[in-house]
């Protein structure tokens, strides 16, 4: 048996208390055959990076609706690198203004998904990035 | 440094990586397992099972905090089910364990069952062996919350907790075979809810009918508030001492190893059989599916 499902950590950093979107994504990724570790609301970047290490995930999916992505995402990326998790790919979903996207991608964010993105597009993007 | 040397020197990332390789049955995991196995055998292994919603994850989290206060390191293996339709899984036990985040003395790993029945993941035995070798003092395994048949945990853990909650069923549920019979310690969680007294009474009545040497204690807890957790830990320690004094520990270990060897041998024989006879098996499937042959004589023939 050499089944190796893609492992994804779905996390909500920051203080916004609304995780319907993150749960919809978690469900869609599960239905696409991935193993989704769902960590719940109000995660600090430190909690996310530590969970990514312990769970040995391929992907971290961040859901941020508060507008704090420019503060939170670089912090998460730094901590992941600090733990040697350079091969973990980070995806961002939420309300992100267009002009913020290029600098986030320059930091190494694999893809950014705004409101209304079809879950198929997200699944496809993750599969293409991880190519398992 | 090899993967197993890194793990022995306390590298958490190496440990996480090896667990993935074991789960995926990658060839290099065998060598690391072989090197690590002799280094284990020191951890206290505790199983936690019970129906969904009884509060297993919350209880495990509170127990981990108590063990940390006693300066013991803790590894938690939390198992959730794989969807039989898509192969995917949502592993949500960490939600209730957020208080443990940021503590170097705690390692949490979520595992999907990947088709295994019985409440554990296929590779749980192996993962326990490496976490044990990595030097954790306490290993807690939280099973899938399926209900009445996840008895595998009793064969893997030294002490098995069965978590109940008020209002889940009448006393006939409590005397059904299976899950309650594997309990070394019974926990009635959410004991502040209406019906707790009746539930405890039903459990006690059921235990009075049991014929075991070990007197299974019933602990009432409100895990979300940390109430009763110290009593659960004391009960676990009493059970551990009981096992140590009555040769129960070595007997449990022998039973566990026997089952593990059986499973490993069965898997290996089966994969060799399939590799050698793939075409014959395909032909046999056609013959049986169309009712030209019966499965019993076909298997006899294939194994001749």
**pLDDT tens for residues A58-117?**
999 999 988 899 999 999 999 999 999 999 999 999 999 999 999 999 999 999 999 999
pLDDT of residue B84: 87
Q: What is the CA radius of gyration of chain B?
A: 21
Give B130 to chain A, closest Cα distance, Å.
14
* Cα(B190)–Cα(B269) distance, integer angstroms: 46
Do B281 and B175 belong to one domain? Answer: no
For residue B222, how far is the Cα from the chain centroid? 23
Q: How confident is the model at residue B263 (pLDDT cuts 50, 70, 90)?
A: confident
Domain span including residue A43: 7-121
Enter the DSSP assignment of A110: -
How many structural domains are present in chain A? 1
A107 at the B interface (CB within 8 A)?
A: no
Do B32 and B44 belong to one domain? Answer: no
Do B230 and B281 belong to one domain? Answer: no
The three-class DSSP label of residue A131 is coil
Question: What phi and psi values does residue B192 have, to the nearest 5 degrees?
Answer: -90, -5
The per-residue pLDDT for range A6-35, each reduced to its tens digit, is: 999 999 998 877 888 899 999 999 999 999
Give B159 to chain A, closest Cα distance, Å.
25
For residue B117, pLDDT beyond 80 = no
pLDDT of residue A46: 95
Which residues in chain A (27-56) have CB-CB distances under 8 A to chain B?
Answer: 27, 29-40, 43-44, 46-47, 50-51, 53-56
Number of C-beta neighbours around residue B285 at 10 A: 13
Do B33 and B74 belong to one domain? Answer: no
Q: Is residue A127 part of a domain?
A: no
**Contacts with B61 from chain A: Cβ below 8 Å:** none
What percent of chain B stands above pLDDT 70?
Answer: 95
> In the β-sheet with B106-112, what is the strand arrangement from edge to edge?
B106-112, B74-80, B138-142, B44-50, B159-164, B185-188, B218-220
User: Do residue A3 and residue B112 have CB atoms under 8 angstroms apart?
Assistant: no
E strand map for chain A:
7-11, 35-38, 59-64, 89-94, 111-113
The three-class DSSP label of residue B278 is helix
pLDDT of residue B68: 97
Do B161 and B209 belong to one domain? Answer: yes
How many structural domains are present in chain B? 3
- Residue A60's DSSP bridge partners are A9, A90
For residue B263, how far is the Cα from the chain centroid? 16
Do B90 and B237 belong to one domain? Answer: yes
Q: Is residue A74 part of a domain?
A: yes
**Contacts with B19 from chain A: Cβ below 8 Å:** 56
**Contacts with B23 from chain A: Cβ below 8 Å:** 4
Q: Is residue B74 part of a domain?
A: yes
Looking at B199, B224, B246, the residue that finishes a domain is: B246
Find the CATH number of the domain harbouring A109. 3.40.50.280
Q: Are A8 and A102 in contact (CB under 8 A)?
A: no
Looking at B204, B227, B246, the residue that finishes a domain is: B246
A1 to each of B25, B114, B268, how far by Cα in Å? 7, 11, 11
For residue A38, pLDDT beyond 70 = yes
Q: Are B167 and B54 in contact (CB under 8 A)?
A: no
**Residue of A30, A31, A45 to mutate, testing the B interface (most B Cβ within 10 Å of its Cβ):** A30
Q: Name B1's Cβ contacts closer than 8 Å, sequence gap at least 6.
A: B9
Residue of A69, A14, A19 whose CA lies nearest to A40: A19
Q: Is residue A78 part of a domain?
A: yes
Q: Is residue A2 part of a domain?
A: no
pLDDT of residue A3: 65
pLDDT of residue B168: 73
Q: Is residue B251 part of a domain?
A: no
Q: Are B191 and B229 in contact (CB under 8 A)?
A: no
B210 to each of A56, B189, B216, how far by Cα in Å? 43, 22, 9
pLDDT of residue A2: 45
Average pLDDT over residues B29-50: 94
Q: Is residue B8 part of a domain?
A: yes
* Cα(B53)–Cα(A53) distance, integer angstroms: 28
* Cα(B24)–Cα(B233) distance, integer angstroms: 34
For residue B103, pLDDT beyond 50 = yes
* Cα(B18)–Cα(B24) distance, integer angstroms: 10
ipTM of the complex: 0.91
pLDDT of residue B124: 92
Do B17 and B62 belong to one domain? Answer: no
Class of residue B86 by CB neighbours under 10 A (exposed 0-12, middle 13-18, buried 19+) = middle
A86 at the B interface (CB within 8 A)?
A: no
Average pLDDT over residues B245-257: 90
* Cα(B93)–Cα(A34) distance, integer angstroms: 17
Q: Is residue A60 part of a domain?
A: yes
The three-class DSSP label of residue B56 is helix
Do B32 and B50 belong to one domain? Answer: no
The shortest CB-CB distance from B86 to any of A7, A26, A31 is to A31
* Cα(B168)–Cα(B199) distance, integer angstroms: 9
Do B67 and B150 belong to one domain? Answer: yes
Enter the DSSP assignment of B256: H
For residue B53, pLDDT beyond 90 = no
Q: Are B56 and B187 in contact (CB under 8 A)?
A: no
Do B237 and B100 belong to one domain? Answer: yes
* Cα(B85)–Cα(A49) distance, integer angstroms: 31
Domain span including residue B3: 1-37
Q: Is residue A129 part of a domain?
A: no
Q: Is residue B252 part of a domain?
A: no
**Contacts with B83 from chain A: Cβ below 8 Å:** 30-31
How many alpha carbons fall within 13 Å on the CB side of residue B119? Answer: 28
The three-class DSSP label of residue B50 is strand
Dump the DSSP string for B18-43. HHHHHHTT-THHHHHHHHHGGG---S
The shortest CB-CB distance from B16 to any of A5, A47, A55 is to A55
Find the CATH number of the domain harbouring B67. 3.40.50.300
For residue B265, pLDDT beyond 80 = yes
B161 to each of A24, B35, B50, B56, B59, how far by Cα in Å? 33, 31, 8, 10, 10
Q: Is residue B109 part of a domain?
A: yes
Nearest CA in chain B to A33: B88
**Tokens 């996207």 belong to which residue?**
A101
Q: How confident is the model at residue B150 (pLDDT cuts 50, 70, 90)?
A: low
User: Do residue A38 and residue B90 have CB atoms under 8 angstroms apart?
Assistant: yes
Q: Name B250's Cβ contacts closer than 8 Å, sequence gap at least 6.
A: none
The three-class DSSP label of residue B126 is helix
């Amino acid at each position: 048996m050499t089944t190796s499902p893609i492992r994804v950590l779905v996390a909500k950093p920051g203080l916004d208390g609304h995780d319907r979107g993150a749960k919809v994504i978690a469900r869609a990724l599960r239905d696409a055959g991935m193993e989704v570790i769902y960590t719940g609301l109000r995660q600090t970047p430190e909690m996310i990076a530590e969970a990514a290490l312990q769970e040995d995930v391929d992907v971290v999916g961040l859901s941020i609706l508060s507008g704090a992505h420019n503060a939170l995402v670089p912090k998460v990326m730094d901590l992941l690198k600090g733990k040697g998790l350079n091969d973990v790919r980070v995806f961002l979903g939420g309300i992100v203004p267009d002009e913020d996207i290029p600098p986030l991608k320059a930091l190494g964010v694999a893809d950014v998904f705004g409101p209304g993105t079809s879950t198929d597009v997200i699944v496809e993007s993750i599969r293409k990035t991880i190519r398992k | 440094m090899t993967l197993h040397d890194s793990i022995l020197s306390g590298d958490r990332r190496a440990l996480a990586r090896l667990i993935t390789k074991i789960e995926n049955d990658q060839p290099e995991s065998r060598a690391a397992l072989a090197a690590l196995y002799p280094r284990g055998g020191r951890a206290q292994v505790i199983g936690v099972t019970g129906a969904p919603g009884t509060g297993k994850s919350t209880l495990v989290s509170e127990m981990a905090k108590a063990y940390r206060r006693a300066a013991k390191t803790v590894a938690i293996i939390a198992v959730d089910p794989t969807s039989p339709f898509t192969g995917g899984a949502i592993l949500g036990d960490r939600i209730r364990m957020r208080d443990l985040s940021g503590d170097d003395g705690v390692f949490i790993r979520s595992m999907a069952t990947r088709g295994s029945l019985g409440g554990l993941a296929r590779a749980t035995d192996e993962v326990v062996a490496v976490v044990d070798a990595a030097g954790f003092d306490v290993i807690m395994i939280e099973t899938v919350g399926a209900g009445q048949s996840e008895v595998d945990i009793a064969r893997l853990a030294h002490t098995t907790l069965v978590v109940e909650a008020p209002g889940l069923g009448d006393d006939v549920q409590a005397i059904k075979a299976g899950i309650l019979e594997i309990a070394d310690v019974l926990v009635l969680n959410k004991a502040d809810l209406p019906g707790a007294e009746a539930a405890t009474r039903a459990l006690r009545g059921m235990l009075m009918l049991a014929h075991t040497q070990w007197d299974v204690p019933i602990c009432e807890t409100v895990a979300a508030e940390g109430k009763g957790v110290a009593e659960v830990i004391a009960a676990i320690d009493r059970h551990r001492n009981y096992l140590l004094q009555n040769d129960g520990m070595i007997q449990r270990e022998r039973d566990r190893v026997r089952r593990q060897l059986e499973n490993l041998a069965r898997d290996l024989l089966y994969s060799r059989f399939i590799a050698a006879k793939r075409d014959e098996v395909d032909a046999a499937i056609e013959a049986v599916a169309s009712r030209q042959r019966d499965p019993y004589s076909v298997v006899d023939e294939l194994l001749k």
